[in-house]
């Protein structure tokens, strides 16, 4: 039996006609950039997440980049984020000439640990006397933003993070690229901070037919600024008030995403139900000594962009599952503080032990909505046989 990590084909088969007519509509209109499809998708995502403003951009990476830029992050500034995330989180910070500063994740949930954030801002930063800005003692960089990541489809502890950020009046940008539809205390992921960033990369829970992204915000000013930034800062044709980027969501992408959005809630529900089955069956198979299923943290609903276990002998398990026809993936094998490109930041492996351990012990199992009962059973049976429990 084959169990791919993700089966986009299976999903496509169920909505093929709708996708084709959505794309055909755009082709017939011959309007490809910033037309009705993008405007409508922006409204629909804004409503889905219950925020007033949404701005379509070219990718999740650009959603981060434009949000950071709009909040004034630039050369020599610092942004606090986590080292256990997809590269783009820190890449966007670096590409603006700013310094990513890492704080470790919570041992249970893989998201920013508010205590570590608090420790960093309180102990390793000071208020600069001339302009009262919070600066990192070691680098002298002004801390301009905090960028928590809702990794794998579960929100970070936003109450604590927002509370700490608020004490220092530092904006919070949510990297919600993996969390469209996740909820924290009744609020949608991406609707809680100053801005929320989404990705429509094909493998995300709501994936387009290529790259795409969106910025959510409750601030009209911020929405206006990112709208300018995505079109080279052009207010009227060929009159540029600021220097921006070319970062639009395409009409064709928006049309595909609009066709898929009505299904997102049911797809998330199917992922959640798959996760429940895995967790129940892993425990029933007596694997608790070898495998720790993902924790669902209080006040949150998890949309299981990934179902990530912690396990003994991770790499050997992955190889064994491959032999059994099961694809799995390591998200992420190298914590960002250990990446070559960030060597100049001066971090050491042991600086973030929770992130480092996660990079060595975690494994993502197939969790896509169309997974069958037999496939799920095959995954659990194979894990059980690897650990001699079959």
Ligand X SMILES: *Cc1c(COP(=O)(O)O)cnc(C)c1O
From residue 3, alpha-carbon distances to 20, 150, 204, 326, 377 in Å are: 27, 26, 18, 5, 11
Q: Which is nearer to ligand X, 51 or 179 (CB)?
A: 179
Question: Using CB under 6 A, which of 7, 42, 211, 250 touches ligand X?
Answer: 211
**By CB under 6 A, residue 199 contacts ligand X:** yes
Q: Which is nearer to ligand X, 59 or 225 (CB)?
A: 59
- Taking contact as CB under 6 A, which single stretch among the options 58-66, 106-114, 120-128, 310-318 is the one that binds ligand X? 58-66
Question: Using CB under 6 A, which of 37, 61, 81, 162 touches ligand X?
Answer: 61
State how far the Cα of 248 lies from the Cα of 33, in Å rounded to an integer. 7
Question: Using CB under 6 A, which of 201, 267, 368, 386 touches ligand X?
Answer: 201
Q: Which is nearer to ligand X, 80 or 142 (CB)?
A: 80
Q: Are strands 187-188 and 183-184 parallel, antiparallel or unpaired?
A: antiparallel
**By CB under 6 A, residue 331 contacts ligand X:** no
- Taking contact as CB under 6 A, which single stretch among the options 83-91, 157-165, 185-193, 285-293 is the one that binds ligand X? 83-91
Q: Are strands 234-236 and 239-240 parallel, antiparallel or unpaired?
A: antiparallel
**By CB under 6 A, residue 88 contacts ligand X:** yes
Least gap, CB of 172 to ligand X (angstroms): 15
- Taking contact as CB under 6 A, which single stretch among the options 130-138, 172-180, 314-322, 358-366 is the one that binds ligand X? 172-180
**By CB under 6 A, residue 149 contacts ligand X:** yes
**By CB under 6 A, residue 306 contacts ligand X:** no
Least gap, CB of 305 to ligand X (angstroms): 8
Q: Which is nearer to ligand X, 92 or 255 (CB)?
A: 92
**By CB under 6 A, residue 174 contacts ligand X:** no
Contact indicator for 160, 186 with CB cutoff of 8 Å = no
Contact indicator for 136, 125 with CB cutoff of 8 Å = yes
Q: Which is nearer to ligand X, 96 or 135 (CB)?
A: 96
In the chain, the largest separation of any two C-alpha atoms, in whole Å, equals 69
- Taking contact as CB under 6 A, which single stretch among the options 85-93, 243-251, 267-275, 358-366 is the one that binds ligand X? 85-93
Question: Using CB under 6 A, which of 37, 67, 81, 85 touches ligand X?
Answer: 85
Q: Which is nearer to ligand X, 83 or 382 (CB)?
A: 83
Kindly state the number of chain residues that form the binding site for ligand X, as judged by CB under 6 A. Answer: 15
Question: Using CB under 6 A, which of 7, 42, 174, 175 touches ligand X?
Answer: 175
- Taking contact as CB under 6 A, which single stretch among the options 84-92, 135-143, 249-257, 278-286 is the one that binds ligand X? 84-92
Tokens of 372: 């069958």
- Of all residues in the shown chain, the one whose CB is closest to ligand X is 60
Q: Which is nearer to ligand X, 85 or 382 (CB)?
A: 85
- Taking contact as CB under 6 A, which single stretch among the options 86-94, 153-161, 227-235, 292-300 is the one that binds ligand X? 86-94
Tokens of 317: 């398990």
State how far the Cα of 91 lies from the Cα of 78, in Å rounded to an integer. 13
Q: Which is nearer to ligand X, 196 or 366 (CB)?
A: 196
Question: Using CB under 6 A, which of 154, 178, 335, 375 touches ligand X?
Answer: 178
Interface ranges with ligand X (CB under 6 A): 59-61, 85-86, 88-89, 149, 175, 177-178, 199, 201, 211, 213
């Amino acid at each position: 039996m084959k169990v791919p990590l993700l089966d986009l084909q299976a999903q496509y088969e169920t909505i093929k006609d709708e996708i084709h007519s959505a794309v055909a509509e755009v082709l017939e209109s011959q309007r490809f950039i910033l037309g009705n499809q993008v405007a409508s998708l922006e409204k629909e995502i804004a409503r889905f997440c219950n925020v007033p403003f949404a701005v379509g951009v070219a990718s999740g990476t650009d959603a981060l980049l434009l949000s950071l830029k709009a909040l004034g992050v630039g050369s020599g500034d610092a942004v606090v984020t986590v080292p256990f995330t997809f590269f783009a989180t820190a890449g966007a910070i670096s590409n603006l000439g700013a310094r990513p500063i890492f704080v470790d994740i919570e041992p249970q949930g893989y998201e920013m640990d508010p205590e570590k954030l608090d420790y960093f801002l309180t102990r390793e930063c000071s208020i600069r006397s001339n302009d009262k800005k919070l600066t990192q003692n070691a680098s002298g960089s002004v801390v301009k933003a905090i960028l928590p990541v809702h990794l794998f489809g579960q929100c970070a502890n936003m109450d604590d993070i927002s509370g700490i950020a608020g004490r220092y009046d530092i904006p919070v940008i949510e990297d919600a690229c993996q969390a469209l539809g996740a909820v924290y205390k009744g609020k949608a992921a991406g609707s809680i901070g100053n801005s929320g960033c989404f990705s429509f990369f094909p493998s995300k829970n709501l994936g387009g037919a290529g790259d795409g992204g969106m910025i959510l915000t409750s601030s009209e000013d911020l929405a206006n600024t990112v709208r300018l930034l995505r079109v080279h800062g052009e207010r009227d044709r060929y009159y540029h008030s600021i220097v921006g980027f070319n970062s639009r969501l395409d009409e064709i992408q928006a049309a595909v995403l609009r066709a898929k959005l009505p299904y997102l809630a049911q797809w998330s529900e199917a992922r959640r139900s798959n996760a429940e089955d895995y967790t129940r069956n892993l425990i029933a198979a007596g694997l608790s000594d070898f495998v720790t299923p993902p924790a669902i943290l209080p006040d949150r609903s998890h949309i299981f962009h990934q179902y990530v276990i912690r396990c003994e002998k991770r790499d050997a398990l992955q190889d064994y599952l491959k032999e059994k026809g099961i694809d799995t993936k390591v998200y992420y094998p190298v914590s960002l503080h250990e990446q070559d490109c960030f060597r100049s930041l001066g971090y050491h492996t042991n600086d973030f032990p929770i992130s480092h351990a996660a990079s060595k012990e975690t494994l993502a199992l197939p969790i896509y909505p169309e997974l069958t009962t037999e496939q799920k059973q095959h995954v659990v049976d194979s894990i059980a046989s690897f650990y001699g429990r079959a």
